[in-house]
Structures are given as structure tokens and as C-alpha cells.
Chain A
Amino acid sequence: MTYILVLEQILNGLQLGMMLFLMAAGLTLVFGVMGLINLAHGSLYMVGAFAAAAVAGWTGSFLLALIASLAAAAAAGALMELVVIRRLYRRDHLDQVLATFALILIFSEGTRWLFGSFPLFLDVPSYLSGPVSLPGGIQYPLYRLTIILIGLAIAAGLFLLIARTRIGIQIRAGEADREMIAALGVDISKLYTLVFALGAALAGLAGALVGAIQSVQVGMGEPVLILAFVVIVIGGIGSIKGALAGALLVGMTDTLGGVFLPQLFAVFMDPASAASAGASLASMLIYILMAAILLVRPSGLYGGSA
């Protein structure tokens, strides 16, 4: 009985981790390559979710909705880069934080103006709904399993992209030395727009995938953004590998901590206060984890010397 619970919770942690990875991958690339802190990354997550909900409501197709989320978030990201972000690369981080925070407000109010303040609901398609039986007698929702698989596929794809392709080489070179690759004739501004749009598309996809099991609402991106920042700080800024490791670590800690801490507390406290104290401590757990990791490795698990 208990081992099934533990396995199911590990799957839940994995699913949360994969979702965080999709968010963190874009964030860490943008930070690593362009040295930009983009607080508006959560807005792209929201844009993806709203685009998916709108298209699903309009056509009834979940697949089209996912494609729309990728396209809309990439387009919003590219536009954001061309109009605003481009002017911020040479500024210091404070200016970037200020400008991208303004973007959050613009995106949130714009979305509220278009769609209203009520949450929208995106349904899981019938072919992905319901539970599946996994070996070992675990019943697990098929949709969450699909999110894990999509996350793994995208992680593999990103590694190949970074390690094996010409664009990947340019991205890595851009992280190492911006001036030099510009001097070598790479169109750096096009590269920046591309990286930004790629990160935005991944965030939008995450928003659409999660929107189907939760709800699509204004401001849904900000709580996830905070977690994604924790992930990239733990993983090491600029590293995709770090983002994956950090996302899994945060996903697991958050899920397993939330479940097992109250039970641990119940050993020496009465159940009601154990439930409440355990829940409170569990929500702090990932920040404690982050602090502990930064004590041992100040630049994160896979961080360079930067």
C-alpha cells in the first residue's frame, strides 16, 4: 500500500518537475545567453494557456490548441524581444527588472481586458483522460503521464539542439563571449530573437499543458515563475542540464515534502496540528533546499564560474 503511494508521489514530483523544466529552460537560456533577467517569462506561460483555451474552445481540438500555444507564445516572445527587451541588454539588472515587471502588468491587464477575470477551462481531451494501470498496480492519470513524456522528449530535443546543431554552437558561444561571436560574423541580434522566441514557446507549451488540468486565469504565471527562478538558481544559471536537475529536485522536494512532512510530524504531534504545521513547513522546503545548495555550491549545481 505505502510503496504504491510513494511511487505515485514520485510520478507526481516528476510531472511537476517536467513542467518546471519547460519554464526554466527558456529562462535560463535567456539569462545565460543575453544576461537578461526576464520577469515577464510567467506572462508568456499565461499567453500560451489563454491561446490554447481560446483555440480549444473555437475548434475543439486539443492538438491544435497546443500548437496555438507554442505559436502564440513564440510570437509574443519575439515581439517582446524586438520592441522592449532589445533595448535592455546593455542596461543593468535593475532596469531589466523594472521594464519586465512593467511587461507583466501590461500582459496581465491586456489579457484581463480580452478574456475577463473569470478563469477559463481547458478540458483534457477524451483520449488522454482517465487513469492507466502501470506495472506494480499503480493507477496514474494518463494525462499526467503524457506531460512527463512530453517533458522528457523536449529535454532530449534541447540537449541535441544545444550540443549538436549549428544554432546550439552559436548559443553556447554567445554564452561564453558575446563580442567575439559577433566579430566572427554571427548575426547576434537574430540569434537573440530566436533564443527568446524558443524560450517563450516552451513556457507557452507548459502553460497550455498545465491549463488543461488546472485553470487558465490571469496571473497564473507568477507563482510558477518564482519556482522557475528557484530552479535555475539551484541548477546554475545558463545551464540546460542544471535546469533539468534543478526542476526535478524542486518538483520532488515540493511534492514529497508536502505529503510526507505532515505524516512525519504526526509521529510526535496530534494529527490536526501536525497537518497544519507540516503543510506550513512543506511550503518552505524548496527555499531551504535552495539555501542549502547555495551554501555548498554558490553558483548552483552546474553553474560555471560566472
Chain B
Amino acid sequence: MKTIRMLAMAAAIPALAVAAQADTKIGMITTLSGGGAGLGVDVRDGFMLAIEQDGREGVEVVIEDDQRKPDVAVQIADRMIQSEKVDILTGIIWSNLAMAVVPAATAQNVFYLSPNAGPSALAGKRCHQNYFNVAWQNDNLHEAAGAYANEAGLKNSFILAPNYPAGQDALTGYKRMYGGELAGEIYTKLGQTDYAAEIAQIRASGADSVYFFLPGGMGISFLKQYAGSGVDLPVVGPAFSFDQGILQAVGDAALGVKNTSQWNKDIDNEANAEFVASFQEKYGRLPSLYASQGFDTANLILSALDKAEVSDQDSFRAALKAAEFASVRGDFKFGDNHHPIQNIYVREVIKEGDVFTNKIIATGLSDHADAYAAECKM
């Protein structure tokens, strides 16, 4: 009796496996609560918009909130890989979480596509054939900002960023291109909400400008407190410090500020126009660069699925690398370390009716690749 049951089960297992193979399971670990929630929600909404517009069957997305805690992200990743058997992981916003999750995931033969975090370590020495970054290497936007600062004639910048991998990459990137003096350089705590001490240092430093990388709630707190402090030095930043969510919260204080981004809603191509319109229609707000990154990530995955099954890892990887999808950024291609080679633009904060948003005023860096590609031996 027992042997019969065993035989029946043995016969059933391959049948189940065949049924499961037809489906692609994507696990999304992102930040949906706390001061960083705006970023994760935008990535998720952009990603799901693309999945929905595509409408194909057999693609399943599982979404979980990492609360911006590395330990939580690692737990979710383990569960998704081991018990839910996802084929592809994506979604992480913060570089410290990416450093905790990505190497372990790629080592277990799962694909990881980053819609945001691009720590330098994963672009250089610790690059992996199953890791693709669809957004940027962390330094990129800051490099463009450094180049812009030179052009704008800024000679004495005070620079600050949170003390975590992306913050260190940010200041490294800015300094790589910026040719002037530094009036000061400080690292704040990740998630810090009170910047009184930093603003006092800026006031005392004799700087001619402030460069800051403070994404999400951190940027909102900083800009509000900066506006109330009476320090009126010009500020420059990457798009992360002036994204759509931050601009609505700080209002007039950010008008006219220059910032750098690989995407903006006024990039002129068909995919982008359609994306901006459909995002607005579905969610009732303007998309941010995070939403555009989520949207591109999903479309990249779908374009690769058209060509190959995920289970055929080599073909699927080649299909991802080819990046044959209509990016909302226009031209998009991967370098040898699976990081984008793309234009970075300079944007200015403007007001359109009642809504604060950005418009592109110049191309900062053309076909820009990251500085770590040479260290990657893949």
C-alpha cells in the first residue's frame, strides 16, 4: 500500500513541475512604510503599471515591505527564494539593503534586477552575471551634478549625504567631477530627521553652495528646516533630493533649484509620453524617477521573457543584456558590468499650475558609463 502511494507521488511530481515551469514568479522587496515609503510605492506602482499594461498570463508578482531594515529584507529574500521559489527578485531601494540581499540571491542562481540601488561594490569587484541594474550606478547622478557645479561656477561647496553605501558613493561621485574646493563634508545618519546641527555647520562654513543627497523623508525634513534657518546659499542636488514626492511637500522653497536625473517627464519619446499619461490616469499623481525605473525594470523583464524562459538561464541573461525594450529614457543599453550607459540631464524645479515639478534644461553627461566597470571580471 505504502509503495503504491509513493509511486503515485513520484509520478505526480514531474507533472507539477511542468505546470509550475510555465509561470514566472517575480519577488519584489521594497520599502512601503516609514520615511522611505514614497520611493518604494513609486517603484511598485511603476512596475505594476507595466505588468498590467502587458497583461500576459503566467507572470506572478509577490510584493513585500522591507521597512528599510536590512535584516527584514534578508528574511523576505530567503523566504521568497526558498519557499516561494521566485525566479527573479527586484524592488530594493536602499543600497545597504541591496548589499545584504543581492550577493546571496545571485549566488543561489536567482536573477536580481535593481530598479534603484546601485552600490559601487556591485558594479565593480563584486559584480555578478545574474545582477542587472536598470536604474544607474549610485555615483552617476552625482557625477553629473559635480560637472554642473563646475559649469555654474560654484567654487566652494558644502556637501552632505547619509552614512550608508549610497551616501558614500554620492559624495565620491560628486567629487570625481567637481573641480572646486570643499567647504565641508558631512555624513548624517540614515533616516535622520533633524538637521539643525548640519545647517549650523553650513552657516558657519563660508560655503558658496550646498550639495546634498537626502532621498525621501530625509530630503523633506532637510529642505523645510533649511528654508526656516535663514541660510540662503544656493542648493544643488541629485534628482533624489527633489523628486516628485519631495517637491509637493516642500513647495516654494525648492523653486528654481537645479538637479540631475537620468529621467524626466518631458523626455521626448513615445514610450515616455504614454507612461506619464497612463501613470497619472491610474494613480492620480505625476510619476517620479523612481516610478520610471520601476516601469523600465518591468518592461525589461517582459522583453526578455518574450525571447527566453527564465529556466534557460543563459538565453534569458542574454535577452536581458540586449535590453530590447522601449525605455522611457529613450536610448538605453547595458555596459559589460550590466549597468546602464545613458544620458544624465540637468533639471530645474518649476511650478506648473499648482503642481511643483521638474523640467530638463540641459544634458549633463552623454552616454555616461560608471567608473567601476573596469573592475568587474564577469
- Which A residues fall within an 8 A CB radius of B? 1-2, 4-5, 8-9, 12, 15-16, 112, 117-119, 121, 124, 129-131, 139, 141, 143-144, 210, 213-215, 217-220, 223, 255, 258-259, 262, 271-272, 275-276, 279-280, 283
Q: Mark B208-233, 1 if CB is under 8 A from A, else 0.
A: 00000000010011001100111000
User: Which of chain A's residues has its CB closest to B33's CB?
Assistant: A117
**Given known contacts A272-B171, A275-B186, A279-B187, is B224 in contact with A213 (CB within 8 Å)?**
yes
A118 touches B37 (CB 8 A): yes
Q: Which 6 A-B pairs have the closest CB atoms?
A: A131-B230, A5-B204, A214-B193, A8-B200, A12-B196, A279-B187
User: Which of chain B's residues has its CB closest to A144's CB?
Assistant: B196
B32 touches A117 (CB 8 A): yes
Question: Interface size (B, Cβ < 8 Å)?
Answer: 35
CA distance A271 to B221 in the complex (A): 26
**Given known contacts A8-B200, A8-B203, is B33 in contact with A219 (CB within 8 Å)?**
yes
**Given known contacts A130-B228, A131-B230, A144-B196, is B185 in contact with A117 (CB within 8 Å)?**
no
User: Which of chain A's residues has its CB closest to B193's CB?
Assistant: A214
| Residues of chain B within 8 A of A131, CB atoms compared | 228-230
| Residues of chain B within 8 A of A144, CB atoms compared | 196
CA distance A112 to B187 in the complex (A): 31
A121 touches B204 (CB 8 A): no
CA distance A141 to B226 in the complex (A): 10
B201 touches A259 (CB 8 A): yes
| Chain B proximity of A19: nearest CB distance (Å) | 9
Tell which of B41, B185, B217, B225 touches A217, judged by Cβ atoms closer than 8 Å: B217
Known pairs A121-B220, A219-B33, A280-B163 / 16 extra A-B pairs, C-beta < 8 Å: A1-B206, A2-B204, A8-B200, A8-B203, A117-B33, A119-B217, A131-B229, A139-B203, A141-B228, A217-B34, A259-B200, A271-B185, A272-B185, A275-B185, A276-B168, A279-B186
| Chain A proximity of B89: nearest CB distance (Å) | 22
Chain B facing A: main interface SS: helix
Chain A facing B: main interface SS: helix
A215 touches B189 (CB 8 A): no
- Which B residues fall within an 8 A CB radius of A? 32-35, 37-38, 41, 163, 168, 171, 182, 185-189, 191, 193-194, 196-197, 200-201, 203-204, 206, 217, 220-221, 224-225, 228-230, 249
| Residues of chain B within 8 A of A223, CB atoms compared | 191
| Residues of chain A within 8 A of B38, CB atoms compared | 118-119
A4 touches B186 (CB 8 A): no
| Residues of chain B within 8 A of A124, CB atoms compared | 224, 228
**Given known contacts A130-B230, A139-B203, A276-B168, is B35 in contact with A215 (CB within 8 Å)?**
yes
CA distance A73 to B33 in the complex (A): 23
A215 touches B220 (CB 8 A): yes
